Chains A and B, each alone.
Chain A
Amino acid sequence: EVQLVESGGGLVQPGRSLRLSCAASEFTVSSNYMSWVRQAPGKGLEWVSLIYAAGTTYYADSVRGRFTISRDTSKNTLYLQMNSLRAEDTAVYYCAGEWVGGYFDFWGQGTLVTVSS
């Protein structure tokens, strides 16, 4: 059974940094497309970032230049480095895996990031 488990969320002050992790089992992070999707409290889903199997990365306009997606093949783990955090980055962050490509077959349980002073 595929499992994606996020960690690293928490309370952080505006302007500070945080790194999220997503550990995968029964699903190879480096062989598939992986994304981060977030959901602000009471709001809808927002795609944040994508990494292709080949390593190409993409970002939503709202986070480009501040967030970096990466992966560690040896640990089968996906990361999201979040810098210069803003109040509007407050959300539950999900990692999501694409088995075929384009849509999200697998989701983690989410990790809450709260940006507040």
Chain B
Amino acid sequence: DIQMTQSPSTLSASVGDRVTITCRASQSISSWLAWYQQKPGRAPKLLIYKASTLASGVPSRFSGSGSGTVFTLTITSLQPDDFATYYCQQYNSYSRTFGQGTKVEVK
């Protein structure tokens, strides 16, 4: 099975900061990677698919990049609504594996 590893696990940041989260796959997954945002008590929300394609309605301050085994999610100017936990998910195979999550908290 493909394993997904995110770093860091927790990130402390301030409004306006540029934030980058990294996701690594245990083997190449081409560009078959999605990113989600989850807030406490809520279902996850799709942000990005196919590594870099923004989902409908997602603000342009979010961007994704990478291919193969290393991927990044970047928030160019962190907004108050962006404090949440972020997950990557691979879909190279039928097994949809998630990373362990990165919590973006207030510094």
Contacts and interface: CB of A to CB of B under 8 A. Distances in A.
Given A102-B34, A103-B91, A104-B36, A47 B43 contact: no
Interface residues of B, number: 22
Chain A binding site: helix, strand, loop or mixed by DSSP?
A: loop
Contacts, number: 56
Nearest to A95: B43
Q: How big is the A interface, by class?
A: 20 to 34
Contact of A47 (B32, B49, B95): B95
B87 A104 contact: no
Interface in A80-117: 94, 100-105, 107-110
Interface of A: 35, 37, 44-47, 50, 58, 60-61, 94, 100-105, 107-110
22 contacts: A37-B96, A44-B87, A44-B98, A45-B89, A45-B101, A47-B95, A47-B98, A50-B94, A50-B96, A58-B94, A58-B95, A94-B44, A100-B49, A102-B32, A102-B49, A103-B46, A103-B49, A104-B89, A107-B45, A108-B43, A109-B43, A110-B43
